[in-house]
Amino acid sequence: MVTTTTPLEAELLRLAGSVPDPELPVLTLEELGVVRAVRLRGTEAVDVELTPTYTGCPAIEAMSLDIERVLREHGMREVAVRTVLSPAWSTDDITDEGRRKLREFGIAPPRVRTSSASVPLELGPTRTRADGAAADPAPAEHVPAGRAPAGESVPPEPLRCPFCGSAGTEMLSRFSSTACKALYRCLACREPFDHFKEV
């Protein structure tokens, strides 16, 4: 069964999506990709579906309150914001505009995944280059970009510095100001920067 969106629901979805993210105010909730749907109940009541970036995200309460405030200011007497965990949020849900704004703000946006497979969890040294290798690796056979030695998977695209664009970067800490970001440093311009992790 296909449900159609009314013009009022589309307007309320736009308004809910225009709310700034409380942790990254440079992005709106629409650009972050967390507002899933808006459904009217009568003429003055609305249900909003919101998906957190990860289970237990501390910002979900602030997002919900901000959405409620904005929709009440636009005539909705009852606003119910419901957390929806399926389908799970992914960094692929961040819009192109959101990625551009992150870069301008000095945060390396998450890389776009080339497959729908889960992001593998790899434990390793604390300081690593953006390609996952140790910061001071032993000499290895040269492999052209985008190719991998026989039997190994293709490495992800390099993580580029949001300030100078260099692909020569290293991880300083797996966690930064929030759990969804890691701290990196550019080896070219030497600037530290956050990287929004791929999920």
Residue 114 has pLDDT above 50, yes or no: yes
* Residue partners of 197: CB distance under 8 A and separation at least 6: 91, 110, 180, 181, 182
Of 63, 89, 115, the residue that ends a domain is 89
Q: For residue 7, is pLDDT > 60?
A: yes
| Residues contacting residue 199 through CB under 8 Å, at least 6 positions apart | 53, 54, 89, 90, 91, 110, 119, 180
Contact 64, 81 (CB under 8 A): yes
Question: What is residue 16's three-state secondary structure?
Answer: helix
185 and 159 in a common domain: yes
Of 11-20, 37-46, 91-100, 105-114, the poorest mean pLDDT is in 105-114
Q: Which residue has the tokens 């890389």?
A: 111
Task: Please determine, for residue 119, whether its predicted confidence score (pLDDT) is greater than 70.
Answer: no
pLDDT at 177: 85
14 with 47, same domain: the answer is yes
Averaged pLDDT, 154-183: 89
Q: Residues 11, 77: one domain?
A: yes
Q: What is the pLDDT of residue 133?
A: 57
Give the pLDDT confidence score for residue 54 in this predicted structure: 85
Q: What is the pTM of this model?
A: 0.77
The bridge status of strand 169-173 relative to strand 181-186 is: antiparallel
CA angle at residue 78 from 52 to 98, to 5 degrees?
Answer: 35
Does 115 share its domain with 68? no
**8-17, 71-80, 132-141, 171-180, range with the lowest pLDDT:** 132-141
CATH number of the domain enclosing 83: 3.30.300.130
Question: How many whole angstroms separate alpha carbon 185 and alpha carbon 147?
Answer: 25
Position with higher pLDDT, 157 vs 67: 67
Instruction: Looking at the structure, tell me whether residues 171 and 115 fall in a common domain.
Output: yes
Q: Which residues pair with 35 in a beta bridge?
A: 50
Residues 112 and 191 in one domain: yes
Q: CA-to-CA distance for 160 and 73, rounded, in angstroms?
A: 41
Looking at the fold, whether 25 and 52 belong to one and the same domain comes out as yes
| pLDDT for the residue 144 | 38
Cα–Cα distances (Å) from 199 to 1, 3, 19, 92, 178, in that order, read 31, 29, 22, 8, 14
Same domain, 74 and 113: no
Q: Token pair 């703000």 is at which residue?
A: 105
- Domain tally for the chain? 2
Higher-pLDDT residue of 165 and 118 is 165
Do 120 and 166 have their domain in common? yes
Q: For residue 188, what are its two tokens?
A: 């070219």
Q: Quick check: 195 and 185 in contact, CB under 8 A?
A: no
**Is 70 exceeded by the pLDDT of residue 166?**
yes
Residue 98 belongs to some domain of the structure: no
Q: What is the per-residue pLDDT across 127-152, written as a single tens digit (0 to 9) for each?
A: 555 555 555 443 333 333 344 444 44
Distance in angstroms (rounded) separating the CA atoms of residues 30 and 47: 16
Whether 116 maps to a domain, the answer reads: yes
Across the strands, what pairs with 184? 171, 193
Same domain membership, residue 64 and residue 14: yes
Domain boundaries, position 85: 7-89
* Pair 12, 38: CB distance under 8 Å: yes
Average pLDDT over residues 154-181: 89
**In a domain? residue 142:** no
pLDDT of the residue at 117: 54
Tell me whether residue 81 is in a domain: yes
The fraction of the chain above a pLDDT of 90, given in percent, is: 67
